[in-house]
Amino acid sequence: MNVSSSIVPLSFAVLVLSACSSDTAFEGSARFSDLSAEQIAAQQRMELNSQLNDLLELVAPGRGSTAFIFPEASNLDAIPQDPSNPLTAEKVALGQLLYHETALGQVGNNPALAGSYSCASCHHVAAGFKSGVPQGIGEGGTGFGINGEGRLMTDGFDATLPDGDPMKPDVQPLTSPTTLNVAYQDVMLWNGQFGNALDGQINVGINPAVFTTTGTPKEANTRMLSGVETQAVAGLGVHRLNVENNSVLQTNSRYQSLFAAAYPGGSSDVLEDAAKAIAAYERTLLATEAPFQRWLKGDSEALSLAELRGAEVFFGDGGCAGCHRGPALSSEAGAGADEVFFAIGFADFDTNDPRIHGPVDDASSRGRGGFTGNPADDYKFKITQLYNLADSDVFGHGASFTSIREVIEYKNSAVAQQPLAMNNLDQRFVPLGLSESQMDDLTLFLRDALYDANLERYVPNSLPSGQCFPVNDEQSRLDLGC
């Protein structure tokens, strides 16, 4: 939520502040002196709704509120998608199951943990499609808890061991980004390394030797797919999941039927087609039932008065919309690199934290710069979407915040956590001067107005394999009751 000094004219911001900084500002007004409490609240709501609509028009000229509305998940043609992976209901149905299927976890380092992990191990609904812990653990993890907060490293596993060692876990040096609303992200991972380099796209011009390095996950970029699809291809390998070579996809009759329905012409590349199905499912994970979405679609009472005031801070004095744009409040589809990656000084993992396993390498710490090799990109990280933040207490690529309010206070004071980023901080990372009441209202907007309480609609009731999900080790089965 970096401030953009040009996002709202000062005169308008002052008008908004004077009009809606507190309920008492309304109640003390002479024009409300003879009205009942209900009438006062109704008048407040009418004015706040009008002011917010005006702000949205300033932020998105000519589009206003429509610029922030998600299509329905069932309206596949309206969802941003890769032209080489047109969305179909059959692909989405297959992808939903493959995403959660723990039986795919068959190519790990330790045979004793086969079939105990899935894509959803680190991107599950209970944590808003994040991991629920600072460092997601696929193979090598045990337990789940309630929202994923109980996921721990299995005794004997060591993230400092060399690749291929049977006790080397599947963990990364950054937090697991959410897969919610990824349809509005053209490139994937915190550094944007997954996504094609066609003309006009973010990774055009990246050194091909870096962008498609043979023998690394980045090699998946040679398929020239969009970010969501590329990450799905790479992720199946990185996270030790098998969709080929006598996997459940070939041996389970229901999966065979689902795959045939998704690809009626047959498949010449099972890996890519399975990944495309997973990506198709991920693109439908849209927070369409959040109160703010209902408000955008015309329900003038969907937001509380405090949430309306918080929205005005977000789109007005807070300057948050200078960076958080489009329906997902991340970046708009087709945005350039300077609208997607920002250096705002977040810290890396605290390796003294017992929940963190292994080191944070220099390339990961430098974010976008660690991928592109361009010093001007150092310590820039991809802007995140803002829906369902309240499902987790892990914030920032290094889990350096534990609440929404902490992030707001950090942005308000603009004191960087990462000293190495000081020379590369975004020019909009400056003190905001928000009052306590404005930060309170902004917190409510982000926590409640952007919260879709029914994401379970995107999760299957069961898997064709019959296995427990999103994780399937012994302790997790106890935690999950399956």
Do 48 and 109 share a domain, yes or no? no
The torsion region of residue 302 among left (phi > 0), alpha (psi -120 to 50) and beta comes to alpha
Domain assignment of residue 90, yes or no: yes
- CATH code of the domain containing 160: 1.10.760.10
Do 129 and 211 share a domain, yes or no? yes
3-class secondary structure, 382: strand
Q: Which pair of tokens denotes residue 450?
A: 């952007």
Domain assignment of residue 5, yes or no: no
Do 130 and 222 share a domain, yes or no? yes
pLDDT in tens, 351-401: 999 999 999 999 999 999 999 999 999 999 999 999 999 999 999 999 999
Distance (Å, whole) CA 462 – CA 156? 31
User: Which pLDDT score is estimated for 33?
Assistant: 63
331 burial level (CB within 10 Å; 0-12, 13-18, 19+):
buried
Distance (Å, whole) CA 128 – CA 459? 12
Domain assignment of residue 2, yes or no: no
The total number of structural domains in the chain stands at 2
Distance (Å, whole) CA 457 – CA 346? 33
DSSP code at position 401: B
72 pLDDT band (50/70/90 cuts)?
Answer: very high
Strand duo 341-342 + 152-153: pairing: unpaired
Domain assignment of residue 276, yes or no: yes
Do 96 and 23 share a domain, yes or no? no
Do 56 and 155 share a domain, yes or no? no
What does pLDDT average to over the chain?
Answer: 92
pLDDT in tens, 305-333: 999 999 999 999 999 999 999 999 998 87
Do 171 and 120 share a domain, yes or no? yes
Do 439 and 464 share a domain, yes or no? no
Do 132 and 219 share a domain, yes or no? yes
Do 262 and 402 share a domain, yes or no? no
Share of the chain above pLDDT 90, in %: 88
Do 150 and 277 share a domain, yes or no? yes
User: Which pLDDT score is estimated for 397?
Assistant: 98
Domain of 437, in residue numbers: 10-68+296-449
Do 239 and 327 share a domain, yes or no? no
Do 42 and 165 share a domain, yes or no? no
What's the whole-model pTM score? Answer: 0.92
- Torsion, CA 145, CA 149, CA 155, CA 159, rounded to 10: 150
Cα–Cα distances in angstroms (integers) from residue 56 to residues 84, 258, 297, 326, 394, in the given order: 33, 43, 13, 11, 29
Taking residues 434-441, what's their average pLDDT? 98
Domain assignment of residue 291, yes or no: no
